[in-house]
Amino acid sequence: MEKSEDVTTQPVLDRLKADLNRRERTIFSSAATFSNAGIRRHPIFDSAAGYRQAFSLDADRILHSRAYTRYNDKTQVFSLIANDHITHRVLHVQLVSKIGRTIGRFLRLNEDLIEAIALGHDIGHTPFGHEGERYLSELCLKAGIGNFLHNVQSIQFLDRVERKGQGWNLCLQTLDGILCHDGEIHNRLLTPQPDKTFSTFEAEISTKKANPALALVPMTTEGCVVRMADTIAYIGRDLEDAIRLGLLKRGEIPASIVRILGNSNGTIVYRLVTDIIQNSYANRFIAFSPGISDALKNLKTFNLNRIYTNPKNKVHSATIKKLFGMLFDTYLEDLTTGNRESDIFSGFLADMSDDYVEDHSHPEIVRDYIAGMTDSYFLNRFPAHLRPVVQI
């Protein structure tokens, strides 16, 4: 039997990719981002990207990045505790991805874009989580390079540091979702702000660094989903970890919150995800209902007071802050004096492109090196007698 002209002239993988793009037009909602709409800074470099769709390719690149590998030993909330069941950054990221893709499936959105944003959203986190972020930000401000923000640093790693300074050439929609994730900011409703360009994206980075309190809004519905999924992933999980560590008891969670959200991570996740799906379906926004939103906001406040600022969770704060300062100053001096014995040369700059070195000041190089460290790598820069003792 003679083959059709389409079969003989078009490679199988190209036809399959075209089929996937057509299927998106059939099953996605009008609020979804289509894969063939992905925008890259350097499209010519990806002319041989093959049969993978744009956001699926982004997720693969992030997953295989060196920065993603380092998630495995980075603090989520609790650090320096010998307990294998406490959440680390890598698990949080996986939970955000799963929760986000669940919401996206029911809302008929692009799950590949959701996955890419979720996998990359916390790559810029320092060792020791938000605490380390605050200490590094103070040092960056003192050095004259502006505030340090983990979402901005995530873009820095993926766009400027990875691949020896070449970056991964990710799509604008992926980078924008990562920049705008801001899981600590409470929103009941998010409406995407489309029509962004790389120029507006760069402007938002500069504005955010100058004003960390600025609330950015993603350009895609998928980015809005990840922003909400970030909160859903950590809010109940942090409660469970705190209960496991004896910082609070389940019965101490306010009854007004329990009545609406429940008192376990599983129930909290289920009710929040269900509420978002019900309130966002067939709409061009992502939203909680007013009652659920209020309860979630109250739970955030409860967690802040009982977990994140709990003195029992800050026993090593002074030591960690001191070590951040020592390391920053040491590496600055090493770069200034050209101390090639320093690990900032052997462990970070040895294989870095000339473009990266020429485009970054010494404080910016130090920032990037320290921010990329895992908890254990950071601590191992110091002799044993200076390191905080792990709690059993």
DSSP secondary structure string, 98-148? HHHHHHHHHHT--HHHHHHHHHHTTTTPPTTHHHHHHHHHHHHHHTTS---
DSSP letter at 355 equals: H
**For residue 324, what pLDDT band results from cuts at 50, 70 and 90?**
very high
Query: What pLDDT shows up at residue 46?
Result: 59
Query: What pLDDT shows up at residue 43?
Result: 82
Structural contact between residues 293 and 230, judged by C-beta atoms closer than 8 angstroms: no
Q: Is 165 left (phi over 0), alpha (psi -120 to 50) or beta?
A: left
Q: For 52-59, what is the mean pLDDT?
A: 95
DSSP letter at 75 equals: B
Q: For 90-113, what is the mean pLDDT?
A: 97
Q: Is the pLDDT of residue 65 over 80?
A: yes
**For residue 14, what pLDDT band results from cuts at 50, 70 and 90?**
confident
Q: Which two tokens stand for residue 178?
A: 């990562």
| b/e sequence 229-246, b meaning 16+ C-beta within 10 Å | bbbbbbbbbbbbbbbebe
pLDDT tens column, 262-317:
999 999 999 999 999 999 999 999 999 999 999 999 999 999 999 999 998 888 99
| b/e sequence 58-93, b meaning 16+ C-beta within 10 Å | bbbbbeebebbebbebbbbbbbbbeeeebbbbbebb
**In which residue are the tokens 């289920």 written?**
270
Structural contact between residues 348 and 371, judged by C-beta atoms closer than 8 angstroms: no
Rounded-to-integer distance, Cα 313 and Cα 306, Å: 10
DSSP letter at 161 equals: I
- Domain 29-313 CATH assignment equals 1.10.3210.10: yes
Structural contact between residues 26 and 34, judged by C-beta atoms closer than 8 angstroms: no
Structure pTM?
A: 0.94
Q: Which two tokens stand for residue 370?
A: 């320290």
- Distances, alpha carbon 270 to alpha carbons 92, 206, 267, 279, in Å: 16, 37, 5, 14
**For residue 179, what pLDDT band results from cuts at 50, 70 and 90?**
very high
- Residue closest to 104 by CA, chosen among 118, 90, 120, 89: 118
- Please report which helix (H) or strand (E) contains residue 201, including its range: helix 198-210
Query: What pLDDT shows up at residue 2?
Result: 42
Radius of gyration of the chain (CA): 22
Q: Which two tokens stand for residue 286?
A: 């992502």
Q: Is the pLDDT of residue 6 over 90?
A: no
Rounded-to-integer distance, Cα 280 and Cα 285, Å: 6
Q: Which two tokens stand for residue 229?
A: 């999924």
Give the number of other Cβ atoms within 10 Å of residue 99's Cβ: 24
More confident residue, 166 or 1: 166
Structural contact between residues 243 and 256, judged by C-beta atoms closer than 8 angstroms: no
* Mean pLDDT estimate for the chain: 93
Query: What pLDDT shows up at residue 3?
Result: 44
Q: For 330-348, what is the mean pLDDT?
A: 96
What residues does each domain of the chain span? 29-313, 317-386
**For residue 47, what pLDDT band results from cuts at 50, 70 and 90?**
low
Q: Which two tokens stand for residue 82?
A: 């010998």
Structural contact between residues 176 and 40, judged by C-beta atoms closer than 8 angstroms: no
pLDDT tens column, 207-248:
999 999 999 999 999 999 999 999 999 999 999 999 999 999
Contacts 24+ apart (CB under 8 A), 128-132: 128/75, 128/79, 128/320, 128/375, 128/378, 129/74, 129/75, 129/76, 129/77, 129/79, 129/89, 130/308, 131/75, 131/79, 131/314, 131/317, 131/320, 132/75, 132/320, 132/324
pLDDT tens column, 76-98:
988 888 888 989 999 999 999 99
Q: For 176-195, what is the mean pLDDT?
A: 92
Q: For 349-357, what is the mean pLDDT?
A: 94
pLDDT tens column, 120-161:
999 999 999 999 999 999 999 999 999 999 999 999 999 999
Rounded-to-integer distance, Cα 170 and Cα 178, Å: 11
Q: Is the pLDDT of residue 30 over 50?
A: yes
Structural contact between residues 40 and 172, judged by C-beta atoms closer than 8 angstroms: yes
Query: What pLDDT shows up at residue 51?
Result: 84
Structural contact between residues 89 and 71, judged by C-beta atoms closer than 8 angstroms: yes
Q: Is the pLDDT of residue 4 over 70?
A: no
Q: Which two tokens stand for residue 95?
A: 């939970």
